[in-house]
């Protein structure tokens, strides 16, 4: 710099750098920048709007995905709830089979030490004798019950015989002796008394009378046995108010119900 030139505000006086007060402000106003400020601002706003709209779109997409996921879960849960689960039938296990095997057979014969029927009285006055059924019974079931009844009756008679034989000095023992070794008249009279006393347990004497009726050789013996048997049928063996029923007319299909599951009552 020339030392002779005057320095003002760090520059030469009269040069471009040397600005007067307010000169810069008036210069900026002359440029009229205000009219460009709106355009600049308006150009920035759509960019901001575009950015915000993109963000909102992303948020909406995320929310829609979440909503669809929740709806999918709900529908799947409803399907599971509404889906009918098949009933699980219990498979036949060995325990149930063992229980079935342990169940007593209806036609099983049980040998007892006591009699099922109380001696004495008429057989058709007993409570069980009034039960009958006109329905057709299966032949195989009837045959099985008949075989069981035969075994039960034979065992019942053997118990009755052993009981009467053990009674020393009884009237039944004396009458049995007369039946086997007495005269014809005494034999008939003794058999009548024994049958009248207990027809159920003394059917053997009824069979003896029938054999005497069928026996050939002595007409008097046959007639006497026939009269004795006829009197027994009228007074003791046949019921007064009804006809006889065959074995198949008993209600075997209701036997368990009538006996309440009690084997002694059923037999």
- pLDDT per residue as tens digits for the range 111-158: 888 888 888 888 888 877 778 788 888 889 889 989 988 998 899 889
Total H helices, total E strands in the chain: 10, 2
Q: For residues 146 and 135, what is the distance between their CA atoms, to the nearest angstrom? A: 17
User: Per residue in 169-228, pLDDT tens?
Assistant: 566 677 778 888 878 888 888 888 888 888 888 888 889 888 888 887 778 888 888 898
pLDDT at 241: 84
pLDDT tens for each residue of 6-43: 555 555 555 555 566 677 777 777 776 666 555 555 44
Would you give the distance in Å from CA 161 to the centre of its chain? Answer: 47
pLDDT at 185: 85
Residue 102 lies in a domain: no
pLDDT at 14: 54
**Band of the pLDDT at 246, cuts 50, 70, 90?**
confident
Residues 123, 240, single domain; the answer is yes
> Which tokens is 148 given?
């069981």
CA end-to-end span of the chain:
151
Same domain, yes or no: 237 and 140? yes
- Residue 128 located in a structural domain: yes
Query: By C-alpha distance, which of 228, 168, 221 is closest to 195?
Result: 228
Q: Kindly indicate the confidence band of residue 250, based on its pLDDT and cuts at 50, 70 and 90.
A: confident
Could you tell me if residue 154 is inside a domain?
A: yes
> What pLDDT is attached to residue 53?
65
> What's the predicted TM-score (pTM) here?
0.56
What's the rounded Cα separation, in Å, for the pair 48 and 86? 61
Q: What is the pLDDT of residue 74?
A: 60
108: in domain: no
What is the total count of domains within the chain? Answer: 2
Within a domain: residue 179?
A: yes
The 3-state DSSP class for residue 147 equals helix
Going from the C-alpha of 244 to that of each of 42, 47, 120, 233, 250, the distances in angstroms are: 123, 117, 20, 12, 12
| Residue-level pLDDT at 41 | 52
Q: How far apart are CA 118 and CA 153, in angstroms?
A: 13
Residue 244 structure tokens: 């006889």
- 233 and 121 in a single domain? The answer is yes
Angle at the Cα of 186 from the Cα atoms of 180 and 187, rounded to 5 degrees? 35
> Is 153:114 a contact under the CB 8 Å cutoff?
no
Query: Are residues 250 and 150 part of one domain?
Result: yes
* Cα–Cα distance, 155 to 153 (Å, whole number): 5
In this structure, are 13 and 131 located in the same domain? no
Q: Which of 235, 177, 227, 237 is nearest to 206 (CA)?
A: 237
Residue in 237, 246, 163, 235 with CA at minimum distance from that of residue 207:
237
| Contact predicate 266/259, CB 8 Å | yes
88 is a domain residue = no
Instruction: Work out the average pLDDT over 56-68.
Output: 69
**In the predicted structure, residue 47 carries a pLDDT above the cut 60:** no
Q: Please, which residues bridge with residue 198 across strands?
A: 121
Domain assignment of residue 186, yes or no: yes
Q: Report pLDDT digits (tens) over 74-98.
A: 665 555 455 544 455 544 444 445 4
Q: Which residues are CB-neighbours of 32 under 8 A, at least 6 positions away?
A: none
Residues 220 and 121 in one domain: yes
Position 19 in a domain: yes
Return the CA Rg of the chain: 61
pLDDT digits (tens, 9 = 90+) for 222-242: 888 889 888 888 888 888 888
The residue segments making up the domain with residue 120 are 116-266
pLDDT tens string 92-117: 444 445 444 455 677 787 888 888 88
């Amino acid at each position: 710099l020339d030392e002779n030139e005057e320095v003002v505000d760090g520059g030469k006086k009269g040069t471009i750098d040397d600005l007067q007060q307010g000169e810069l402000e008036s210069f900026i106003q002359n440029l009229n920048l205000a009219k460009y400020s709106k355009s600049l601002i308006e150009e920035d706003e759509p960019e901001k709007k575009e950015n915000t709209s993109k963000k909102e779109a992303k948020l909406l997409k995320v929310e829609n995905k979440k909503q669809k996921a929740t709806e999918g879960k709900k529908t799947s849960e409803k399907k599971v709830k509404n889906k009918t689960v098949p009933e699980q039938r219990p498979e036949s296990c060995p325990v149930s089979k063992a229980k079935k095997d342990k169940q007593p057979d209806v036609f099983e014969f049980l040998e007892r030490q006591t009699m099922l029927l109380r001696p004495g009285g008429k057989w058709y006055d007993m409570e069980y004798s009034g039960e009958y059924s006109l329905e057709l019974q299966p032949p195989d079931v009837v045959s099985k019950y008949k075989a069981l009844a035969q075994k039960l009756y034979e065992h019942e008679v053997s118990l009755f015989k052993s009981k009467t034989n053990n009674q020393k000095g009884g009237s039944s023992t004396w009458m049995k002796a007369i039946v086997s070794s007495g005269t014809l008249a005494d034999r008939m009279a003794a058999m009548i008394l024994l049958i009248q006393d207990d027809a159920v347990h003394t059917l053997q004497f009824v069979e003896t009378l029938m054999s005497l009726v069928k026996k050939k050789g002595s007409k008097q013996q046959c007639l006497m046995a026939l009269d004795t048997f006829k009197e027994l049928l009228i007074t003791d063996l046949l019921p007064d108010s009804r006809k006889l029923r065959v074995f198949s007319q008993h209600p075997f299909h209701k036997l368990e119900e009538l006996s309440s599951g009690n084997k002694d009552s059923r037999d």
